[in-house]
Amino acid sequence: MRNFINIAAVSFMLLLSQCSASKDRMIMTVKGPVKASEMGVSLTHEHILVDFIGADSVNESRWDKSIVSEKAMPYLLAIKKLGCKTFVECTPEYIGRDPVLLKSLSESTGLNIITNTGYYGAANDKYVPKHAYEKSAEELASGWVDEWNNGIGSTGIKPGFIKIGVDSKSLSDIDRKLVIAAAKTHLNTGLIIASHTGPAIPALEQLEILEKEGVDPEAFIWVHAQGEKDLSNHIKAAKMGSWIGLDGINEDNCEEYVRLIKNLKDNDLLDKVLLSHDAGWYDPAKENGGEFRGFTTLFEKLIPLLKAEGFTEKEIDQLMITNPAEAYAVRIRKLN
């Protein structure tokens, strides 16, 4: 009996410590740390600004922050009105990342906004800076870890995740280097790795690299997984622990997204799904930034469709609140 009580007491304490650990989890926003439990309804893959000029020419003088702000503001206020609390901005350095712009938008809208560290190796490496070819993965990682420790440049603003990108075929040498650098950065920061990927071949190759580096697949978001047509690969990666980013929602594809989400639900993997639009995109090369795509379709069209298909309120909360907090809470996810 006494043994039993001891075991019960110990397991209760363990449970308590686990509870308080998950209660104390933090996400890192452009305004500083916020409790993961307060992240709320979140869009996990969106953009304010993307500059397609290329790594050798991009610089902040190509856009006027106040004009970009003015353009983006109504779209952010629209999602706030729909109950969204957190906006994950996925534009990496060398393709238009502007943490100061994001911070001012966060201050004026009251939304949590999260920015990133890392380099984007998709689009045939147009956005990979020259030094990435010369430096080792360790050296790249040390630059990204430095942004976490000391803030981005002189802004004092810290990244809340690692954003990389790879091309949609088998990984190239530079893609591989970026993935290794991201793995090393994760182990030093606890920031989750969101990798623009698309098809399964590079997704599974990245998971293999992470494993070699000792990183749990739970620290990896397979971004643009809707690009993979064989849905058994979503199941395979999610069962390994990877997050499945279904993040290209628009007015015309909501039915298809219901099918993709149901596939994961039917396999008990709803807790691995992250949803978003990959919308926005003020483009400095275009007159007044070009056409800006809003972020409301998920709320106005996809969620009602999911409910019509029998998804419960709890399952919607899982997709929109629980999963984002679990993914973006900063913590090291190491393989034992």
CB of residue 194 vs Zn ion: minimum separation in angstroms? Answer: 9
Residue 325 CA to residue 160 CA, distance in Å, equals 12
Residue 187 CA to residue 296 CA, distance in Å, equals 35
Contact set for Zn ion, span 231-260 (CB under 5 A): none
CB of residue 95 vs Zn ion: minimum separation in angstroms? Answer: 10
Among positions 36, 55, 88, 90, the unique one binding Zn ion when judged by CB under 5 A: 90
CB of residue 90 vs Zn ion: minimum separation in angstroms? Answer: 5
Q: Which of 202, 190, 255 is nearest to 227 (CA)?
A: 202
From 17-25, 139-147, 250-258, 276-284, give the range in contact with Zn ion by CB under 5 A.
Answer: 276-284
**How many Å from the N-terminal Cα to the C-terminal Cα in the chain?**
34
What SS3 state is found at 195? strand
Residue 112 CA to residue 36 CA, distance in Å, equals 11
Q: Which of 328, 320, 286, 285 is nearest to 303 (CA)?
A: 320
Residue 274 CA to residue 244 CA, distance in Å, equals 6
Decide if residue 278 touches Zn ion (CB under 5 A): yes
Binding mask 168-207 for Zn ion (x = CB under 5 A): ----------------------------------------
Q: Which of 336, 330, 234 is nearest to 35 (CA)?
A: 330
Decide if residue 89 touches Zn ion (CB under 5 A): no
From 62-70, 90-98, 104-112, 148-156, give the range in contact with Zn ion by CB under 5 A.
Answer: 90-98
Q: What is the largest CA-CA distance in the chain?
A: 77
CB of residue 278 vs Zn ion: minimum separation in angstroms? Answer: 4
Residue 195 CA to residue 191 CA, distance in Å, equals 12
Which CA distances in Å does 19 have to 10, 219, 256, 328, 330?
14, 20, 37, 17, 16
* Residue nearer to Zn ion on the CB measure, 137 or 198: 198
CB of residue 24 vs Zn ion: minimum separation in angstroms? Answer: 30
Which tokens go with 311? 């998804």
* Residue nearer to Zn ion on the CB measure, 27 or 90: 90
* Residue nearer to Zn ion on the CB measure, 206 or 235: 206
CB of residue 163 vs Zn ion: minimum separation in angstroms? Answer: 9
* Residue nearer to Zn ion on the CB measure, 190 or 248: 248
From 24-32, 137-145, 187-195, 272-280, give the range in contact with Zn ion by CB under 5 A.
Answer: 272-280
Rg value, the chain, Cα: 20
CB of residue 114 vs Zn ion: minimum separation in angstroms? Answer: 13
CB of residue 46 vs Zn ion: minimum separation in angstroms? Answer: 8
Q: In this structure, what is the dihedral angle of CA atoms 287, 289, 295, 297, given to the nearest 10 degrees? A: 30
Binding mask 151-170 for Zn ion (x = CB under 5 A): --------------------
Residue nearest to Zn ion (CB): 278
Q: Applying CB under 5 A, what is the total number of residues that bind Zn ion?
A: 2
CB of residue 79 vs Zn ion: minimum separation in angstroms? Answer: 16
Q: Which of 226, 214, 296, 290 is nearest to 263 (CA)?
A: 226
* Residue nearer to Zn ion on the CB measure, 90 or 321: 90
* Residue nearer to Zn ion on the CB measure, 72 or 235: 72
Decide if residue 228 touches Zn ion (CB under 5 A): no
What SS3 state is found at 82? coil
Distance of CA 69 to the CA centre of its chain: 22
* Residue nearer to Zn ion on the CB measure, 55 or 137: 55
Residues that bind Zn ion (CB under 5 A): 90, 278
